[in-house]
Structure 1
Amino acid sequence: MTKPVNRRIVLAARPHGNPKASDFELVEAPVPVPRDGEVLVRNLLTSLEPFNRILMGNANGDQVPIGIGDTMLGFTVAVVQESRNPAFAAGDHVAGITGWQDYAVSDGSDLRVVDPHAAPLWTNLDVLGMPGLTAWVGLTEIARPRSGGTLVVTGAAGAVGSAAAQLGKLRGLRVVGIAGGPEKVRLLLDELRLDAAADHRAPDFAGQLARAVPDGIDTIYDNVGASLLPALLPHLNPDAQIVVGGVMSQITRTGAAEGPDHLPDLLRAAVYRKATIRGFNVMEFFDRYPDFLAELAPAVAAGEVRSRTHLFDGLEAIPETFPEMFTSRAPGKMIAKIAAG
């Protein structure tokens, strides 16, 4: 019988700008062995995140990059193969951060047991995983939108944006989604059932936005960054809240921003409209998972919160697929199927 090996996607080179397939390498190593207090897991699914680009280095972020030759971090759904930790049993399905690889050893601190029958496993990497938690934290801990107000979500066809938009609908807000392209706008209106949507790539985006927010904007959940926020500022109502959940448009930029300086517009909004702006790191809120799941899991099970997931086959396909996130990728969460189980 062939002895199993652990395939890993490692960082081969630091990119400049958008990542390339050649920035990664697929290597093989022995399957790791757990020690006392640890578990060995076999990864079934792993997600691809904009955060992975920051970890590669030469990116617009404060996170210390991983080393050349290190395994790429990845949120995963896995099966426990062997347990030497009393909190887990062989056969348990777990969600964790065990990387772009077939097998991993964990002390259990980054794992939580999930029910494979409660919802499709991939939802634990999407609307019931880190993207959903990020949306929930932004609209629960960072901003507290008033019922009936207008929430505008940028990047609303993405994993975090779509979760934030639907959570806003659940909480009685009027939700406007902003996305790029008519296909994504149709997704927001037809599948996610938002109140209005605007295509930021359309020549008449300014007009679309004005029609979508006739009563102004009370809360912004921004996932994109400087490229879209300036267009929203003139529509802010007094005491508006701006939540920064991500800066997707700026991750690959390392130099000074190009184009007009909109900082004076933001400062005027802070002074004259008493607007607040606040970002956050979702990893500081992992202890809120039980509260988050208590609200979102029933809504997902009932079909009140939906997601569009871009599933593809094979660990080996990640290097070619990951760069699409920064070019012309399809809507939804990008998840690699590594193994069945």
Structure 2
Amino acid sequence: MEQIKNKQIVLASRPIGWVEESNFRLVETILDAPDEGEVLVRNSYLSLDPYMRMRMDAVKSYAPYVELGQVMVGGTVGEVLESNYAGLKPGDLVTGSLSWQLYGVTKGKNLRKVETTKVPLSAYLGIVGMPGVTAWYGLNEIGQPKASETVVVSAASGAVGSVVGQLAKLKGCRVVGIAGGKAKCDYVTETLGFDACIDYKSPDFRQAFKAAIPDGVDVYFDNVGGEILDLVLASLNPFSRIALCGVISQYNQSEPHGIRNVRSLLVNRARLQGFIISDHLEKWAEILPQLEKLVAEGQLKYRESVAEGLENAPAAFIGMLKGENFGKQVVKLT
């Protein structure tokens, strides 16, 4: 194999509070040729997701944290350039976790072949990828919504929340979203078809939220945690269900928000369950074709924010953590 110069973004330092661009460093390396059973991939798009913030801290979590000097973790889609794996050949399009870099070498069994006749390549990092599967699993397996129930979704215009709300509408639920800013709320109601969307940045947010849920909350899909979770807890119905997917409002806080309305879980006999979609890999093969079909038929809509170039990944990541993205945040690499 001809030597290939690779570019990578590595973790240069651990953030204290909010992430800064100085926490990352762009480096150049030379790629090794793929060994037996391995594949060389040129990455086309990189996924940026909130969970990456947790992996920057040297604390025990559900997955190992990124070591200083190590390439930042992340999902990718790209093209196979060289293969020593029977299941893949040059030219195949694949998705995997090849991190913040232009090229990657990995075992072929760690990659999933995709095709772009039904959905664009970048969508395999979003609505027909990890965020879409996360939405489907959390809503259906934990939320278990029934027709006419009220489903509330935080970060409703985001990669996960937007899918949750649309799936709930397909089940005949009343769906109320929470998002930041009028433009995002308008998109959630006018394009995605939610029944209502409340702007958490508005000074009358709490009053507007109460007005939007006259019959209380049966299912809450939480992506943000903090004060909004606390607010929803106060409006739960008996035997309600909460799928705790993320707590993005807390990732950059040195002193996380303390939940006060825990009593509501008891008196309403509610169920709150945190989940990590990588614990349920056996479900992906069942869920992905359903999502792909709904997207191809136009029943599921999505939006992307696209940053250009690997060097701009840190700024795009910080912007996503601050809610500056609109929909799924990806970085176009090639």
If the TM-score is normalised by the length of the shorter chain, which range does it land in? over 0.9
Q: TM-score scaled to structure 2, two decimals?
A: 0.95
**Aligned partner (choices 326, 330, 334) of residue 329 of structure 2:** 334
The aligned amino acid for 2:317 is F
Match in the other structure for 2:115: 115
Partner of residue 244, structure 2: 244
Compared CA separation, residues 316 and 262, structure 1 to 2 (3 A): closer
What is the deviation of 1:133? 0.8
Deviations 1:253-293 (A, max 9, x none): 244x35xx534x22x22222111100111111122112112
Task: Report the CA distance between 1:178 and its aligned residue.
Answer: 0.5
Q: Which of 247, 259, 266 lines up with 1:262 in the alignment?
A: 259
Q: CA deviation at 1:165?
A: 0.9
| Matching residue within 274, 288, 291 for 1:293 | 288
Q: Assess, with a 3 A threshold, how the Cα gap between structure 1 residues 176 and 319 changes in structure 2: closer, same or farther.
A: same
Give the secondary structure class of the aligned counterpart of 2:160: helix
Paired position in structure 2 for 1:27:
27
The aligned residue for residue 153 of structure 1 is: 153
Higher deviation after alignment, 57-66 or 296-305: 57-66
CA displacement at 1:216 relative to structure 2: 1.3
Moved more, 45-54 or 316-325: 316-325
Identify if the C-alpha distance between structure 1 residues 313 and 285 changes in structure 2 by more than 3 Å, giving closer, same or farther.
same
Report the secondary structure of 1:122's partner residue: helix
Cα gap change, 1:85 to 1:63, in 2 (>3 Å): closer
Give the Cα–Cα distance (whole angstroms) in 1 for the partners of residues 323 and 83 of structure 2: 41
Matching residue's letter, 2:162: S
**Counterpart contact for 1:32–1:40, Cα < 8 Å:** no
Q: Shift of the alpha carbon at 1:294?
A: 2.5
Q: What value does the CA root-mean-square deviation take over the aligned residues? A: 1.7
Task: Map 1:106-255 onto structure 2 (within 5 A).
Answer: 106-255=106-255
Q: CA deviation at 1:42?
A: 0.8
Output the CA distance in 2 between the equivalents of 1:199 and 1:59. 33
Report the TM-score, using the length of structure 1 for normalisation. 0.93
Distance 2:292 2:273 in 1: 27
Aligned residues: 333
Distance 2:15 2:62 in 1: 16
What amino acid maps onto 2:321 in structure 1?
Answer: F
SS in 2 for 1:109: helix
Change (3 A) 1:326 1:204: same
Could you tell me which amino acid in structure 2 is paired with residue 262 of structure 1? I
CA 1:201–1:60 in 2, change beyond 3 Å: closer, same or farther?
Answer: farther
Q: Which amino acid aligns with 1:312?
A: A
307-316 vs 318-327, which deviates more?
318-327
Offset of residue 314 of structure 1 = 0.6
Q: Give SS of 1:218's match.
A: strand
- Paired with 2:230 and 2:53, the residues of 1 have a C-alpha distance of 25
Instruction: Give the corresponding residue for 2:53.
Output: 53
- 1:90 is matched with 90
Counterpart of 2:300? 305
Following TM superposition, by how much is the alpha carbon of 1:330 offset from its aligned partner in structure 2, in angstroms? 2.7
Structure 1: stretches of 5+ with no match in the other structure: none
Between 1:302-311 and 1:286-295, the stretch displaced more is 286-295
Map of 1:41 onto structure 2: 41
